[in-house]
Amino acid sequence: MLLCICSLLSCSYGSEYLYRIINTCDQHIDVYYKTASEEITRQVESGETVDLFVLFRKDPGPDGPYVHDVDLDIIDFKVTRADSLVSSRNFRSNETWSYDNGTFTSVVTNAEF
């Protein structure tokens, strides 16, 4: 009986993590990304904010979501501007993303092309 109660009370914790891109360039961008579950290219218009994808990740405790290394979620990520220039930023690095309560956001600017 005690074993049954203990197994019912034990939990695995997890949270959803959203990846969002903001295009502040003066032209549209094409965002290519690959995760473990999908590989997609999306066009993001100038001035547009787009929620790219949501992933569920197990958390180490009940107080999640927790910040983690984005390269655990992103296999490949490339941003190309309408004039075919490719962004110089490493989108598999946490330095490229800001994090707030389960949402990773990256702002794309003309300066990175």
Q: pLDDT of 9-64, one tens digit each? A: 456 788 899 999 999 999 999 999 999 999 999 999 999 999 999 999 887 778 77
Residue 44 neighbours by CB distance under 10 Å: 19
* pLDDT on residue 1: 46
Phi, psi of 83 (to 5 degrees): -85, 15
> In this predicted model, what pLDDT tens digit does every residue of 98-109 receive, in sequence order?
999 999 999 999
18 in Cβ contact with 70 (< 8 Å): no
The CA distance from 57 to 86, in Å, is: 30
Question: What is the dihedral angle through the alpha carbons of 78, 83, 85, 87, rounded to the nearest 10 degrees?
Answer: -50
